[in-house]
């Protein structure tokens, strides 16, 4: 049967890209209504359905839009809802972006557990994989295989001397809370300046993302980046991870990519019965695959 939240809960925090202070309230929702976002800060309170057909941008996060409204960085919330079997939820938000929190789905999961989940009267519909499906583009691939439940494995390779090739595996959504939820988003120091030039990561810091220093830079360039991010100057003497909090998992970046792909594929609009194998996934490719599945009615 379909499920929704037993009661509403609210999370607040900084937006990774906008830097705004944002409040999002997750509310129970009626049967067959799906996951929807409502921009309560806009006059008409426009609603956006969390479907791949509404994806409009994918640079460093998944963005959906409808009726002149946008919501970005939705993937962590979508993954948490999918992992806990929540089919119907209304998310009221007062900004064009979800709060990044610590860069993972951990705090969303904790709030879901506290709020509780209840069964509804309508039967759940699945995207059931009945035969092998393969999608490839520019070195990235996603393969779907028949399986009784949802499982996933993700392979990443960033050609980095610090972030070596990694594998993450999820054998059951019941393991999501302990194995995947706390994996944080990540960024390379060499990417920060271009991202800022694209008006992104204005809310990024060493508490909401893993920061990887894998190519030496002049200290003056590092100082300039710190000024742009409004953080205290950092003296970079050794390559490595720059975070105050150590890695939660040795393969935390790969686990975060697995978290992302769960959230992006949730935009199919139905939970998946099948095994997903992804190599070098990213939001653009993930959501294109989800959109392809929707457009070709492959979920029937």
The rounded Cα 65 to chain-centroid distance in angstroms is: 16
Whole-angstrom distance, CA of residue 247 vs CA of residue 222: 22
Number of domain units in the chain: 1
For residue 55, tell me if it sits in a domain: yes
HSE-CB at 107 with a 13 A cutoff on CA atoms is 16
Beta bridge partners of 106: none
Is residue 294 a contact partner of residue 51, using CB atoms and an 8 Å limit? yes
Task: Give 263: exposed, middle or buried? Use CB within 10 Å, 0-12, 13-18, 19+.
Answer: buried
Whole-angstrom distance, CA of residue 94 vs CA of residue 264: 22
Sign, Cα dihedral of 183, 185, 135, 48: positive
pLDDT at site 200:
67
In tens digits, the chain (300 residues) has pLDDT values of: 999 999 999 999 998 878 889 999 999 999 999 999 999 999 999 999 999 999 999 988 999 999 999 999 999 999 999 999 999 999 999 999 999 999 999 999 999 999 999 999 999 999 999 999 999 999 999 999 999 999 999 999 998 988 999 999 999 999 999 999 999 998 888 887 777 777 767 777 777 888 888 888 888 888 887 777 777 777 777 888 887 788 999 999 999 999 999 999 999 999 999 999 999 999 999 999 999 998 886 554
What is the pTM (predicted TM-score) of this model?
0.93
Active site positions, annotated: 283
Rounded to whole angstroms, the maximal C-alpha distance in the chain is: 61
CATH of the domain at 40: 3.30.230.20
Whole-angstrom distance, CA of residue 144 vs CA of residue 292: 13
Give Cβ neighbours of residue 214 (< 8 Å, ≥ 6 apart): 160, 161, 162, 163, 188, 189, 190, 239
Quote helix, strand, coil % in the chain, to nearest 5: 25, 30, 45
Is residue 18 a contact partner of residue 97, using CB atoms and an 8 Å limit? yes
For residue 52, tell me if it sits in a domain: yes
For residue 121, tell me if it sits in a domain: yes
Torsion angle (degrees, nearest 10) of CA 101, 105, 110, 114:
100
pLDDT at site 288:
96
pLDDT digits (tens, 9 = 90+) for 188-215: 888 877 777 777 677 777 778 888 888 8
For residue 218, tell me if it sits in a domain: no
Range of the domain at 118: 3-125
For residue 274, tell me if it sits in a domain: no
């Amino acid at each position: 049967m379909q499920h929704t939240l037993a009661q509403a809960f609210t999370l607040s925090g900084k937006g990774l890209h906008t830097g705004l202070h944002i409040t999002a309230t997750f509310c129970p929702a009626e049967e067959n209504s799906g996951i929807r976002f409502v921009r309560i800060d806009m006059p008409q309170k426009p609603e956006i359905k969390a479907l791949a057909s509404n994806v409009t941008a994918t640079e460093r996060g998944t963005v959906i839009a409808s009726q002149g409204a946008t919501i970005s960085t939705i993937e962590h919330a979508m993954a948490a809802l999918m992992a806990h079997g929540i089919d119907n939820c209304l998310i009221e938000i007062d900004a064009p972006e979800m709060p990044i929190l610590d860069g993972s789905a951990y705090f969303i999961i904790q709030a879901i557990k506290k709020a509780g989940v209840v069964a509804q009267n309508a039967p759940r519909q699945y995207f059931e994989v009945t035969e092998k499906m393969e999608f490839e583009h520019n070195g990235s691939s996603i393969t779907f295989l028949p399986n009784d439940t949802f499982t996933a494995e993700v392979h990443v390779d960033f050609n980095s001397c610090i972030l070596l090739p990694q594998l993450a595996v999820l054998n059951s959504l019941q393991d999501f809370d302990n194995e995947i939820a706390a994996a944080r988003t990540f960024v390379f120091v060499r990417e920060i300046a271009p991202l800022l030039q694209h008006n992104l990561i204005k809310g990024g810091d060493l508490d909401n993302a893993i920061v990887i220093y894998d190519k030496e830079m002049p200290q003056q360039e590092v100082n300039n980046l710190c000024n742009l991010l409004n953080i205290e100057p950092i003296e970079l003497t050794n390559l490595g991870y720059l975070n105050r909090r150590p890695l939660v998992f040795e393969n935390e970046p790969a686990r975060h990519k697995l978290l992302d792909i769960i959230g992006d594929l949730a935009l199919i609009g139905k939970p998946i019965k099948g095994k997903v194998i992804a190599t070098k996934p990213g939001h653009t490719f993930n959501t294109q695959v989800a959109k392809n599945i929707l457009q070709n009615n492959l979920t029937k």
